[in-house]
Amino acid sequence: MDSSIDIAISSAAVHWLTAKPEVPYGDGLFLSQLDANLKKILLKKAADDWEIFISARSKELKVGGLLFVTGLASEIDDQGKLSVSAADLFTVMRRVLKGMIAEKILSQHVYDDYIFPVVPRTLDEYLAPVCSEVWQVKVAKIASGTNAFYAAYQQHGNAQTYAKDYINFVRSFSESAMIAGLFSPGAISMDAKACSEVIF
């Protein structure tokens, strides 16, 4: 019901797009790998989704109600360079997917049309729709996360275990999106699940 909620909390979910813009992405698998034009298209979709999210919360919250939200972020460093959360991971994933295309396990054409539907926004992009008289921003900051699997690896020293743990972590958040958008339409001579086994 409108104006009935005291506190709304969303944790680590708002970086997921509602859908990917249907344009050819070529070799780009993730925001950090796109040219300026494609980046603009994806950021527009992220901004539209975020606007809808914020507008819905502004209706359901009471006046004085609190919204606490976390999501993946991008950060501009002192040299003006954009650093996108998870960019290194997607560099590795792109390399593996291109190997699968070379081995004729995955369709080049489906890969070219695919983008992983997650956008880590900058702080300014997060703040854009809340910089209005409707909202008062109490805290807005980018915090570095820690890699718990790496911390564990530093204790146990077993690289195989670290690799397995980290892959399972990546699989837990990415597999459903990749099966739906990439492996279901794009697996060649095997089913989508089997294709997914290859990357993970």
Ligand X SMILES: C[S@@+](CC[C@H](N)C(=O)[O-])C[C@H]1O[C@@H](n2cnc3c(N)ncnc32)[C@H](O)[C@@H]1O
Where does this chain bind ligand X (CB under 6 A)? 11-13, 16, 117, 173, 177
Nearer to ligand X by Cβ, of 11 and 155: the residue is: 11
Rg for the chain, CA atoms, rounded: 19
- The minimum distance between CB 25 and ligand X, in angstroms, equals 17
- The minimum distance between CB 159 and ligand X, in angstroms, equals 25
Whether the CA torsion 94, 120, 179, 44 is positive or negative: it is negative
- The minimum distance between CB 13 and ligand X, in angstroms, equals 3
Nearer to ligand X by Cβ, of 135 and 169: the residue is: 169
Nearer to ligand X by Cβ, of 144 and 189: the residue is: 144
3-state secondary structure labels for all residues of the chain: CCCCEEEEEEECCCCECCCCCCCCCCCCCCHHHCCHHHHHHHHHHHHHHHHHHHHHHHHHEEEEEEEEEECCEEEECCCCCEEECCHHHHHHHHHHHHHHHHCCCECHHHHHCCCCCECCECHHHHHHHHCCCCCCCCCCCCCCCCCHHHHHHHHHCCHHHHHHHHHHHHHHHHHHHHHHHHHHHHECCCCHHHHHHHHC
Phi, psi of 106 (to 5 degrees): -130, 140
Nearer to ligand X by Cβ, of 105 and 113: the residue is: 113
- The minimum distance between CB 64 and ligand X, in angstroms, equals 24
- The minimum distance between CB 14 and ligand X, in angstroms, equals 8
Nearer to ligand X by Cβ, of 69 and 188: the residue is: 69
Nearer to ligand X by Cβ, of 179 and 188: the residue is: 179
- The minimum distance between CB 178 and ligand X, in angstroms, equals 10
